[in-house]
Structure 1
Amino acid sequence: MKNLIHFIYNNVRVKGGVLLKNISLLLMLLLVLPYFISYKIVFLGLILYLLIQLIFYRFSINFVLLGTLLPLILIFFIGLLSSIYGMPFYNDLIRDIIFYLMPILLITTGYIISIKIKDISLIINTVVWSGIILSVYHLHHFVLNPSLLGESIRQIRLEAGLGFTLTILSLFIIYFSKSFDMKILNNNIKIKTFGFIVCSISGLLSFSRSLIIFSLVILLILSISKRKYVIKSYLSLAITIFMILILIPTIHFSVPEEAYEQMSGKLVNSLNEVSITEFDSIKQINENWRGYEAYRSQIDFLDKSFIAQIFGGGFGERIPLGLSIQLSGEIYTSVPIVHNGFWNLLNKVGVSGLLLYIVFIISILKLGLKLVKKEGYQVKLIGYFSFIIAAFVFISTLLATGLYKSQGTTELSILIGLFIGIDYCLLSKKIVN
Structure 2
Amino acid sequence: MKLSLKKIWAILFIISIIIQREIASIEVNTVILTVFTIFFLIINKGKILRQDLELLSFLVIIILIGIISALFNKPTTYDFIRDLIYFTKPLILILLGYFTARSINDWRIIIKTIIYLGFTYAIYHILHTIIFTDFSNTSVANIRKINGLSNVIEVYAIALVILGLKTPFFNVIKGKNSKTIILTTLVLSFILYFSRTMFVSLIFLILGVLNYLKLNKKGLKYLAITAIFFIGLYAYLFSIEIKRNGDTIDGFLYKLKIAPSEIFSPKINLNDHAQLWDHWRAYEAYCAFQSLNQTPVSYFNGKGLGALVDLKFAAPLSSDGNIRYIPILHNGYVFVLYKTGIIGLILYLIFLVYLYYQAYRKTKSIEVKTFGNILSATAFYLIFSSLIITGLYNLKEETAILLGVFLYLKTSSVLKRKYENRNHWN
Q: Does 1:105 align with 2:96?
A: no
Residues of 2 paired with 1:55 and 1:425: CA distance?
18
CA contact (8 A) 1:142 1:148 kept: no
From 345, 348, 353, the equivalent of 1:357 is 348
Structure 1 CA distance, aligned partners of 2:38 and 2:199? 38
Q: Is the alpha carbon distance of 1:55 and 1:119 closer, same or farther for their aligned partners in structure 2, counting shifts above 3 Å?
A: closer
SS at match of 1:381: helix
CA gap of 1:374–1:149, structure 2 versus 1, over 3 A, is farther
Measure the CA separation in 2 of the matches of 1:430 and 1:25. Answer: 28
Partner of 1:428: 415
Larger deviation, residues 140-149 vs 20-29: 140-149
| Closer/same/farther in 2, CA of residues 154 and 328 from structure 1, 3 Å limit | farther
User: 1:363 deviation in Å?
Assistant: 1.9
Deviations 1:66-89 (A, max 9, x none): 111111000111112211221324
Where relative contact order (Cα < 8 A, 6+ residues apart) is larger, the structure is: 1
Distance 1:26 1:149 in 2: 41
| Structure 2 residue corresponding to 1:160, chosen from 147, 152, 161 | 147
Which residue does 2:222 correspond to in 1? Answer: none
Indicate the larger mover: 157-166 or 323-332. Answer: 323-332
1:387 corresponds in structure 2 to: 376
Q: Which amino acid aligns with 2:283?
A: Y
Partners of 1:418 and 1:140 lie apart in 2 by: 29
**Identical-residue share of aligned pairs (%):** 25
Could you say which residue in structure 1 is the equivalent of 2:303?
Answer: 313
CA–CA distance in structure 1, aligned partners of residues 133 and 37 of structure 2:
43
CA contact (8 A) 1:180 1:381 kept: no
Q: Secondary structure at the match of 2:150?
A: coil
Against the structure 1 CA distance between its residues 134 and 332, is the aligned structure 2 distance closer, same or farther, given a 3 Å change threshold?
same
The code of the aligned residue for 2:47 comes to S
In structure 2, list runs of 5 or more residues that go unmatched: 220-244, 420-426
Q: Structure 1: which 4+ aligned runs deviate by more than 6 Å?
A: none
- Aligned ranges 1:341-380 → 2 under 5 Å: 341-370=332-361, 373-376=363-366, 378-380=367-369
Give the Cα–Cα distance (whole angstroms) in 1 for the partners of residues 349 and 53 of structure 2.
Answer: 16
Match of 2:325 among 325, 334, 340: 334
Q: Which residue of 2 aligns with 1:280?
A: 269
Between the aligned partners of 1:149 and 1:69, the Cα distance in structure 2 is 49
Q: 1:406 aligns with which of 380, 391, 395?
A: 395
- Tell me how far apart the structure 1 counterparts of residues 104 and 267 of structure 2 sit (CA, whole Å): 52
Structure 2 CA distance for partners of 1:310 and 1:259, relative to 1, 3 Å = same
**What are the ranges of 5 or more consecutive residues in structure 1 without an aligned counterpart?**
1-8, 14-18, 231-255
**Secondary structure at 2:311's aligned position in 1?**
strand
Deviates more, 1:189-198 or 1:104-113: 189-198
Cα distance, 1:129–1:149 mapped onto 2, change above 3 Å = farther
Contact 1:125 1:184 (C-alpha < 8 Å) held by counterparts: no
Residues 289 and 144 of structure 1, relative CA distance in 2, 3 Å threshold: same
Measured in 2, the distance between the counterparts of 1:327 and 1:94 equals 21
Q: For 1:25-174, what aligned pairs fall within 5 Å after superposition?
A: 25-37=11-23, 38-55=25-42, 57-147=44-134, 150-174=137-161
Question: Which of these residues, 251, 256, 265, is aligned with residue 267 of structure 1?
Answer: 256
Mapped partners of 1:35, 1:114: distance in 2:
19
Contact 1:162 1:206 survives alignment (8 Å): yes
Aligned to 1:289: 280
Whole-angstrom distance in 1 between the partners of 2:304 and 2:180: 49
Distance 2:179 2:136 in 1: 26
**Matched letter for residue 380 of structure 1:** K
For the 8 Å contact 2:40–2:100, the answer to whether it is kept is no
Kindly provide the CA deviation profile for residues 54-77 of structure 1, in whole angstroms up to 9, marking residues without a partner as x: 556523122122111111000111
| 1:146 Cα deviation from its structure 2 partner | 4.3
Partner of 2:212: 224
**DSSP-derived class of the 2:322 partner:** strand
| Structure 1 residue matching 2:386: 3-state secondary structure | helix
- Matched with 1:246 is none
RMSD, matched Cα: 2.7
2:179 alignment counterpart: 192
> Letter of the aligned partner of 2:212 in structure 1?
I
Secondary structure of 1:400's partner? Answer: coil
Q: What is the CA-CA distance between 1:382 and the residue it aligns to?
A: 1.6
TM-score (norm 2): 0.83
Q: Is the 8 A contact 1:119 1:431 kept in 2?
A: no
Alpha carbons of structure 1 residues 91 and 153: separation in structure 2 relative to 1, 3 Å? farther
Could you tell me which amino acid in structure 1 is paired with residue 162 of structure 2?
Y
Q: Residue 30 of structure 2: SS of its match in structure 1?
A: helix
